[in-house]
Chain A
Amino acid sequence: MSVTTTNSNNASSAASGANSPSQVIVREKEAIRSWKAPISFAVFAALGVVLFWILGRDAVSNFRLSTDTDVIQLASVDLPTQLTGIVISLALILITAYSFWLSVVKRPTPIWVVTVYGVLFMVGFLTWAGAGESILVPGLLLGAVGLSIPLIFGAMGGIISERVGVVNIAIEGQLLAGAFVSAVVASVTGNAYLGLIAAMAAGMLVSFVLATFSIKYLVDQVIVGVVLNVLVLGLTSFFYSSILTENSSLLNSPPRFDRIEIPLLSQIPIVGPVLFRQTLIVYLMYIIVAVVAYALVKTKWGLRLRSVGEHPQAADTVGINVYMTRFWNVSLAGAIAGIGGAYFTLGSVGSFQKDMTAGAGFIALAAVIFGRWDPIRALLAALLFGFATNLQSVLAIIGSPVPSEFMLMLPYVVTIIAVAGFVGKVRGPAASGKPYIKG
């Protein structure tokens, strides 16, 4: 007798399984009919219809796909605003209908449908907002990547720390410490590489405190994280106001990393200049994300790390030192977040400013949870935040039809809807936030 796994036959197979003792395995597979995705789709489709169709503007939107310095020049694309809006609205409605049908037959909406939907909505929105204007697409994406980089480093730090069982609210503090120390060290030594290493050390130092207090002294990890953020903010602002402002030429004028162009790859249209004409820190980010994503699930290190985060007692039983595993991986997380901090000073702005991370650590934390503690998903979430933030500054330049405050609000509203609609009840690592007491 064959093993039946389809949902509709569940009851009958279970019944027949009871009748025939020959059947050994019955895989019960509960299908959950979730209406979150279609309802979220419907909300955005309605918004799309109203904005792009009913409030559609009769003009032409121009998209420039390459900059003047590119080797391969792509022609710019002219889209009739109203017509594009109507076509995209219809496509959105179709996808929504498809998602409703999937829910009716108790199947989940696959992630690629969500992605296609999101991209379509974005194109529609850009076309509508850029009516009669010209949008430089590589510029839009370049700014988005730039804003995402500290978020991505912070999110990687958050993921490693939480997967090993220590809640990392201190990402903000690690970023800020990295930014401050890298600026000072790079200024004094005149060497950006030393600044980068110092930033990693600074992030690690914050992690040492987090790890010591939460693992050794069993203090609530959320408390330590929140307090560390305030402590680092206080320390850096104090030293900035009292020392750095007076000796800014000596202590606060670090050299910046140069952009490195990767031959061939940087000539790919649209993607090339965005991804392969960047500073060392960005290339470091690609490597770290790839390594973390691979190593977390494929290596001994990753297995040990996850087992300590999910069930420390079981890990201890098989001989893994829970305390040391936690301590050193939290430190590693701090070092990675510290690189993200160095990007603020050595990669983009140059000099250190008071509270220059301005809540990026919290957005990175949101990316961790939004990305369900998975490196690739968190990377995408961080890119989304970066894109949305940059989008409003681009639209502010071309003059958007909606008040700029609502544009600024958009990424956060989208996140709330996405978290409520698509992500839903997320389950973090089981032992995250719980101190382990051997015994």
Chain B
Amino acid sequence: MSDNKLTAEVAETKPAPPSRWNVALNEILSGSIIISILSVVLALVVGAILIVLVDPKVATASGYFFARPLDTLGSMWDSASGAYSSLFQGAIYNFRRPDFASGIRPFTETLNFAAPLIVAGLGVALAFRVGLFNIGGRGQMLIAAACAGYVGFAFDLPPVLHLVVAIAAGLAGGALWGGIVGLLKARTGAHEVIVTIMLNYVAFYLVSYMLRTPGLLQAPGSNNPKTAPINPNAILPDLLGTTYNLNFGLIIVIALTVLVWWILSRSSLGFQFRAVGENPNAARVAGIRVDRMYIYAMLLSGGLVGMAGIIQVLGTVPSGFSSGIDAGIGFDAITVALLGRARPWGVFFAGLLFGAFKAGGFAMQAAEGIPIDIVLVVQSLIVLFIAAPPLVRALFRLPTPLGEHKPVSLRKPKLKAVAR
């Protein structure tokens, strides 16, 4: 490359600073908001394709595609739009109801599903920020649920106190189960991924044992592996009266989101957490007790994930629980934390979105006969697309923001003759 050309290029790439309008447009088009929206759209499109693929009506219509092609297209549209409209009506607002009060009920269901997802997601996200991967959500939820549930049905305390004691017991259980991981990691260097996976199984079998043993968790006079109903004094109160399922757990979750935000971005502990997460060696040199941070982080993470179990036991199903009480939330929480990019408010909205999918998914299954598993597909695709902005940009031909890595070319580089 000759010098003239080089200077010409420099002059080209550094013209007068771009106008503010251009900068703003570039930021909107390449920023994370539009990427997030486009990711959701893309995932929904893929979901629609899958729904259409397996619909028997579409298959029948495509049998005479060449005779009447519009029939196929029409049934495809019916299939996809029917699915998504029932998803929406199951998650946000049901237009078939006469008044607003009953039409908005699906949205309260969404909030109800979202509350444990958010708080468990916060726990996983907090561990992420310290560089720990907490796959132990299931175990932490089960132990917390068992502790809170036991206090909830076996004790007899005055109204508010009972609820507080039950929640405290659950938090202690979850924190203990997470804290074991932190302690082992700090003291012996045991890999947290292994230990959390193993503790999931330990917790599951421990709770299963207690559920079928009279005097521990099993309901008196019963042979089923199920607990007695929770004492009314320990049940999370309804927020909007008895017509809605929404309970006080949502308020706790919002408060905890603020608390986690404050811990991570405003407190000295959070600063140390993030320092360890960025680079544990540098943090150690800077005088941060890395080992202690691991323990504290796992205690907090376990407690937060445990809160999801507490909400399940004391709020969602207060009529007694069995070993399936975690309902897969411990694993969903990982996806929620990833979608929220391990930021407290990001997790909050990711949890809301996933709660909506869960509420709507059940409605869709009931109304259209579409397996709820499609929700898993759409959720995971959303996270996948959001995690890879270059892919979404390439699909929609959006500009690449300055200062970001271009995707790596996997093709073999061609040998260039370099004149020296």
Contacts and interface: CB of A to CB of B under 8 A. Distances in A.
**A and B bind:** yes
Interface string B124-165: 000000000101000000000000000000000000000000
Given A218-B405, A237-B373, A416 B199 contact: yes
Contacts of B399: none
Contacts of A36: 188
A380 to B, nearest CB: 15
Given A213-B388, A217-B391, A227-B335, A409 B191 contact: no
B190 A226 contact: no
Nearest to B375: A234
A7 interface: no
Contact of B384 (A213, A241, A359): A213
Contacts of A425: 188-189
B34 interface: no
Given A217-B391, A226-B335, A413-B202, A437 B405 contact: yes
B408 interface: yes
> Is chain A's binding surface mostly helix, strand, loop or mixed?
helix
A415 B410 contact: no
Nearest to B391: A217
A231 B198 contact: no
Interface stretch (B67-75, B91-99, B204-212, B246-254): B204-212
A327 B412 CA distance: 12
A421 B194 CA distance: 13
Contact of A231 (B184, B384, B391, B407): B384
A227 B373 CA distance: 14
Interface stretch (A63-71, A298-306, A363-371): A363-371
Nearest to A226: B334
B338 interface: yes
B380 A405 contact: no
B135 A362 contact: yes
B199 to A, nearest CB: 7
Interface in A251-288: none
Interface in B32-58: 50, 54
Contacts of A242: 54, 370-371
Interface string A191-217: 000000000000000000000110111
Interface string A33-56: 000100000000000000000000
A215 B191 contact: no
A330 B115 CA distance: 38
B398 interface: no
A413 B198 contact: yes
A255 B377 CA distance: 29
Contacts of A426: 189, 191
Interface residues of B, number: 50
B197 interface: yes
A408 B209 CA distance: 11
Contacts of B193: 365-366, 369
A412 interface: yes
A2 B190 CA distance: 40
B407 A216 contact: yes
Interface string B361-376: 0000000001101111
A416 B190 contact: yes
Contacts of A218: 405, 407-408
A213 B381 CA distance: 12
B390 interface: yes
A112 interface: no
Of the listed residues B50, B202, B209, B409, the one surrounded by the most CB atoms of chain A closer than 10 A to its CB is B202
A222 B133 contact: yes
A148 to B, nearest CB: 17
B194 A419 contact: yes
A426 B194 CA distance: 12
B387 interface: yes
B201 interface: yes
Given A228-B380, A242-B54, A405 B408 contact: no
A415 B189 contact: no
B236 interface: no
B338 A416 contact: no
B410 A323 contact: yes
A3 B213 CA distance: 66
Interface string B228-268: 00000000000000000000000000000000000000000
B387 A224 contact: yes
Contacts of B201: 408-409, 412
Interface string A52-88: 0000000000000000000000000000000000000
B379 interface: yes
Given A216-B410, A218-B408, A238-B377, A362 B189 contact: no
Interface in A230-255: 230-231, 233-235, 237-239, 241-243
B195 interface: yes
A424 B187 CA distance: 9
Given A324-B412, A366-B194, A219 B388 contact: yes
A317 to B, nearest CB: 14
A380 B381 CA distance: 36
A230 B412 contact: no
A405 B209 contact: yes
A230 B198 contact: no
A223 interface: yes
B373 A241 contact: yes
Interface string A396-421: 00000001011011001101100111
A415 to B, nearest CB: 5
B368 to A, nearest CB: 11
Contacts of B334: 226
Given A419-B190, A419-B194, A231 B377 contact: yes
B80 interface: no
26 contacts: A36-B188, A213-B388, A216-B408, A216-B409, A217-B388, A218-B408, A227-B387, A228-B380, A231-B377, A231-B381, A238-B373, A241-B373, A242-B54, A243-B54, A323-B410, A327-B410, A359-B197, A362-B197, A370-B194, A403-B213, A415-B194, A415-B198, A416-B190, A419-B195, A420-B188, A421-B188
Q: Closest 8 interchain pairs by CB?
A: A234-B376, A425-B189, A241-B371, A405-B209, A237-B373, A234-B377, A231-B380, A217-B388
Given A227-B384, A421-B188, 4 more contacts: A230-B380, A233-B376, A237-B376, A323-B408
Interface of B: 50, 54, 133, 135, 184, 187-191, 193-195, 197-199, 201-202, 205-206, 208-209, 213, 331, 334-335, 338, 370-371, 373-381, 383-384, 387-388, 390-391, 405, 407-410, 412
